[in-house]
Amino acid sequence: MNIMIVGCGKVGQTLAEQLNDEGNNITVVDTDPELVSDLAARLDIMGYVGNGATHTVQQEAGIHKTDLLIAVTGSDELNLLCCLIAKKAGNCQTIARVKNPAYSSETAYLKDELGLAMVINPEHAAAAEIARVLRFPSAIKIDTFAHGRVELFKYRIPEGSILSGMAVKDVVAKLSCDVLVCTVERGDESYIANGNFVFAEKDTISVIASPKNALEFFKAMGYKNRAVRDVMVIGGGETAQYLCSILHRSGVSIKIIEKDQRVCSELCVRFPEVSIIHGDAADQSLLLEEGIRTASAFVALTGLDEENIFLSLFAKSAGHAKVVTKINRIAFDDVIKHLDLDSTIYPKNITADLILRYVRAMKNSEGSSMETLYSVIHGQVEAAEYTVGEGSPVTEIPLMKLKKKPDILIAAIIREGKVLIPRGGDMILAGDRVVVVTRAKAIDDIADILL
């Protein structure tokens, strides 16, 4: 597929890398010659220097042969203009990044009136993921399928856990809960879990279950789901504003620390029920004075990854809060995962998951059955949800007899609104929603899991 990406910032670079890895023909456009040159050389893709919101530049960059244009510059208005011109000039599908909270209620209107295929908002998506994690503090990451009926959560096994030394095949019987372990991360290695795998302390595992059974899983290990009552947020940008809107509806008390006086004034007007503190969170005495020792949750959302990381480490040492850290750059992911952080949120990866799902649907000429896509272990393992059509070759065959490709796990079946954690004798039926965890790339349709 021919894809043009306008904007070579962090989101644009992440998209270019992942879409290029999937075999698409990528052209990037940006006004910064150095960014374009570096990205084009590193990925061996086409690059064009210019204003992507002009008809001339789009024509010269090849809009007439483009299947999909993705506008991810730093300006919402520029992104919308890029898409409007592309629709007229190239009659291609378009996706716009729109992050300003002022436009959040206008998304459906903009999409319909401008003919956009999708409006993406990394900041809102990040806020929604943070809110899910705060609802279930024992987990470090939560992804949802089937409109919330199924959850895939990550959990780091602590010292002294009853899971340590237990085999995967014994989890259901010994904990008396209907869950399925999908992946295990140990050091720099990752595995699709099999029954004989034995857990060790500090392993990070991903488990799939219904919300009710997920709660039973944590209870069986002695955890109480201590609901977050109050949260301290560092940074008052777009992500913090979306998070305030979500958490306020849940009755959570929110305190934001922001060093920009203008931003503080705007937040006070927009969120009168939120406590806004004007100050620099790098001042440890300020954090202590504002109650970091007793806070239920601490969320670092500044624009600097280093600051978010150091603040989060201090929060963990100062109290017992659930700590969430926003990371914008993914270049040091291997280093960050070895730090003693609770939950890390990568808005760029969330955005890439959304767009990858749409691109795969476009590439499938018969119409992909993919409904949801998440990266479980970045660059290594993903989980996708499919709707199974009539006549699919995966139906009415016991899973133990289904000839699947290696490293593919049927993780959940949703049938008539009920969640089934599948075992070997279960079968997939037409109309089911199926969650698949896999190392394989480009599983566009449920039938692609077969040998």
What's the fold here for domain 2-120? Rossmann fold (3.40.50)
CATH match for 138-220 among 1.20.950.20, 3.30.70.1450, 2.60.40.1180, 3.40.640.10:
3.30.70.1450
Residues 371, 386 contacting (CB under 8 angstroms): yes
E strands within 210-249? Answer: 230-234
Q: Which residue has the higher pLDDT, 435 or 365?
A: 435
Q: Which residue has the higher pLDDT, 12 or 444?
A: 12
Q: Computed over its alpha carbons, how large is the radius of gyration of the chain?
A: 23
pLDDT for 353: 82
What is the per-residue DSSP string for 172-217?
HHHHT---EEEEEEETTEEEE--TT-B--TT-EEEEEE-HHHHHHH
Question: For the chain, give me the number of helices (H) and strands (E)?
Answer: 14, 22
Distance (Å, whole) CA 230 – CA 236? 16
Distance (Å, whole) CA 182 – CA 206? 6
**Adjacent-strand bridge partners of 277:** 257
Residues 354, 120 contacting (CB under 8 angstroms): yes
> C-alpha angle 78/79/81, rounded to 5°?
65
Identify the band that residue 365 occupies on the pLDDT scale cut at 50, 70 and 90: very low
Distance (Å, whole) CA 345 – CA 130? 7
Q: Encode pLDDT of 392-427 as tens digits.
A: 999 999 999 999 998 899 999 999 989 999 989 999
Residues 375, 135 contacting (CB under 8 angstroms): no
Report the chain's terminal Cα–Cα distance, integer Å: 25
Distance (Å, whole) CA 153 – CA 245? 24
Q: What is the mean pLDDT of residues 3-16?
A: 92
Distance (Å, whole) CA 174 – CA 300? 37
pLDDT for 48: 96
pLDDT for 367: 42
Q: Which positions ≥6 away from 229 have C-beta within 8 Å?
A: 252, 253, 296
Position 366 pLDDT exceeds 70: no
pLDDT for 364: 60
Return the amino acid letter for 406. P
Q: Encode pLDDT of 74-86 as tens digits.
A: 999 999 999 999 9
Return the amino acid letter for 333. D
Distance (Å, whole) CA 290 – CA 257? 9
Q: Which positions ≥6 away from 304 have C-beta within 8 Å?
A: none
Distance (Å, whole) CA 127 – CA 143? 13
Position 226 pLDDT exceeds 80: no
Q: Which positions ≥6 away from 438 have C-beta within 8 Å?
A: 192, 381, 382, 383, 384, 405, 407, 408, 409, 449
Identify the band that residue 102 occupies on the pLDDT scale cut at 50, 70 and 90: confident
Q: Encode pLDDT of 145-181 as tens digits.
A: 888 899 999 999 988 899 999 999 999 999 999 999 9
Of 438, 434, 429, 419, the closest CA to residue 179 belongs to: 419
Of 76, 107, 109, 111, the closest CA to residue 94 belongs to: 111
Q: What is the mean pLDDT of residues 36-59?
A: 96
- Looking at the chain, the domain(s) classified CATH 3.40.50.720 span 2-120, 230-345
Identify the band that residue 225 occupies on the pLDDT scale cut at 50, 70 and 90: low
What's the fold here for domain 230-345? Rossmann fold (3.40.50)
| Statement: the pTM of the whole predicted model exceeds 0.75 | yes
What's the fold here for domain 374-449? Alpha-Beta Plaits (3.30.70)
- Residue 64: CA count within 13 A, CB half-sphere: 3
Token reading at 162: 């009853």
Query: Percent of the chain beyond pLDDT 90?
Result: 63
Q: Which residue has the higher pLDDT, 440 or 308?
A: 308
Of 261, 256, 323, 303, the closest CA to residue 99 belongs to: 303
| Residue 55: Cβ within 10 Å count | 12
Position 368 pLDDT exceeds 70: no
Position 265 pLDDT exceeds 90: yes
Position 329 pLDDT exceeds 60: yes
**Adjacent-strand bridge partners of 345:** 326
Q: Find tokens 């009136």 and name the residue.
A: 113
Distance (Å, whole) CA 271 – CA 20? 41
Q: What is the mean pLDDT of residues 243-260?
A: 93
Sign of CA dihedral 303, 81, 11, 325: positive
Position 387 pLDDT exceeds 80: yes
Q: Which residue has the higher pLDDT, 445 or 345?
A: 345
Token reading at 273: 């029920």
